[in-house]
């Protein structure tokens, strides 16, 4: 079975990828429900009743467990299956066989933190989006989806102690950073880059799908931009560990700052950074972020064995 679909067209590989992802997601959703009944000693009907009431205090640990199992099944496992089916060298296919120097990782941490005001500012602009009147029903559906996602996010980010913090760092930061980068940058970006023979189309198509997948349309633009930056980290370096690191820092920073704010250890709501301040902080964020990402590009384009990045070299 190894590399059995290596010679398939990118279009065919994309359809296969969608099928494998959906199959794995459904399978692990069922597994998570079964595990939930076993771990919490509940019948399936009781479990469904608890999950149907999001305000039930018993629901939070169950939601966290189901979300973690689902994320592993939907995002972490499928890329390895697909890499095995599409390549005789799965780790190379996923760009997990490369390394970068420690200084690059330090620059990535700094860059992700520095662009936070810019990302929050774009998110605030995006939140005021309105569709034309003839798309009223679509806008109402988008708002309902956004509100549901916001309720779940608020539920997950309620952290009473350090145990909750550690759980959230694993569930919200580590698993998505690994799984979503493996899937969107490791597989989807590669497929569309090969299909179009253009790395930029690969980057931005993967970024679009990455943002759309979250079903949070009033945060689409900043997430789309982040997806593009993550994609170019892979393009510059050929090393998927760089976008994984950036993704983890972004998510972990949100979790940690939320915890500190909830417990009164910082005075300012981290979600308001760049939103309630003047344009100066956003301009500084943009300028410093651009400099830091330029430094990362400079280091990686010099140190990477693929100095002259091309579709043929990277998406072979």
The domain segmentation of the chain, as residue ranges, is 1-93, 98-314
Low-confidence ranges of the chain (pLDDT < 50): 305-316
Question: What pLDDT does residue 49 have?
Answer: 78
Task: Report pLDDT digits (tens) over 188-201.
Answer: 999 999 999 999 99
Question: What pLDDT does residue 277 have?
Answer: 60
Q: What is the pTM of this model?
A: 0.89
CA dihedral 294, 300, 302, 305 (to 10 degrees): -160
Question: What pLDDT does residue 267 have?
Answer: 80
Task: Report pLDDT digits (tens) over 42-61.
Answer: 788 877 777 777 677 677 88
Long-range contacts, 167-174 (Cβ 8 Å, 24+): 167/64, 168/255, 168/259, 169/252, 169/255, 169/256, 170/68, 171/64, 171/67, 171/68, 171/71, 172/251, 172/254, 172/255, 173/248, 173/251, 173/252, 173/255, 174/248, 174/252
Q: Which helix H or strand E contains 135, and what residues bound it?
A: none
Cα-based angle 14, 16, 17 (whole degrees, multiple of 5): 60
Q: What are phi and psi of 197, to 5 degrees?
A: 60, 30
Question: What pLDDT does residue 213 have?
Answer: 87
Question: What pLDDT does residue 251 have?
Answer: 95
């Amino acid at each position: 079975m190894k590399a059995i679909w290596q010679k398939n067209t990118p279009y065919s590989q994309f359809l296969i990828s969608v099928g494998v992802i959906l199959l794995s997601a459904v399978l692990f959703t069922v597994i998570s429900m079964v595990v939930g009944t076993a771990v919490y000693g509940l019948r399936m009907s009781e479990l469904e009743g608890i999950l149907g009431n999001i305000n039930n205090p018993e629901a939070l640990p169950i939601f966290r467990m189901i979300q973690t199992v689902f994320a592993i099944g939907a995002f972490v496992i499928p890329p390895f299956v697909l890499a095995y089916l599409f390549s005789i060298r799965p780790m190379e296919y996923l760009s997990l066989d490369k390394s970068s120097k420690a200084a690059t990782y330090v620059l990535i941490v700094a860059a992700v933190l520095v662009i936070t005001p810019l990302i929050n500012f774009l998110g605030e602009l995006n939140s005021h989006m309105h569709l034309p009147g003839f798309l009223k029903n679509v806008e109402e559906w988008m708002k309902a989806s956004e509100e549901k996602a916001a309720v779940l996010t608020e539920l997950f980010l309620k952290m009473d102690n350090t145990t909750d913090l550690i759980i959230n760092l694993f569930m919200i930061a580590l698993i998505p950073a690994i799984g979503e980068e493996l899937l969107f940058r490791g597989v989807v970006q590669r497929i569309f880059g090969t299909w179009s023979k253009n790395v930029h189309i690969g980057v931005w198509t993967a970024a679009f799908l990455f943002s759309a997948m979250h079903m949070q349309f009033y945060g689409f633009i900043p997430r789309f931009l982040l997806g593009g930056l993550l994609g170019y980290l892979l393009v510059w370096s050929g090393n998927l560990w760089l976008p994984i690191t950036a993704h983890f820092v972004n998510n972990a920073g949100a979790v940690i700052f939320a915890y500190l704010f909830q417990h009164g250890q910082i005075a300012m709501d981290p979600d308001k950074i760049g939103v309630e301040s003047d344009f100066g902080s956003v301009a500084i964020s943009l300028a410093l972020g651009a400099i830091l990402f330029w430094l990362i590009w400079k280091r990686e384009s010099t140190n990477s064995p693929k100095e002259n990045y091309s579709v043929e070299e990277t998406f072979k």
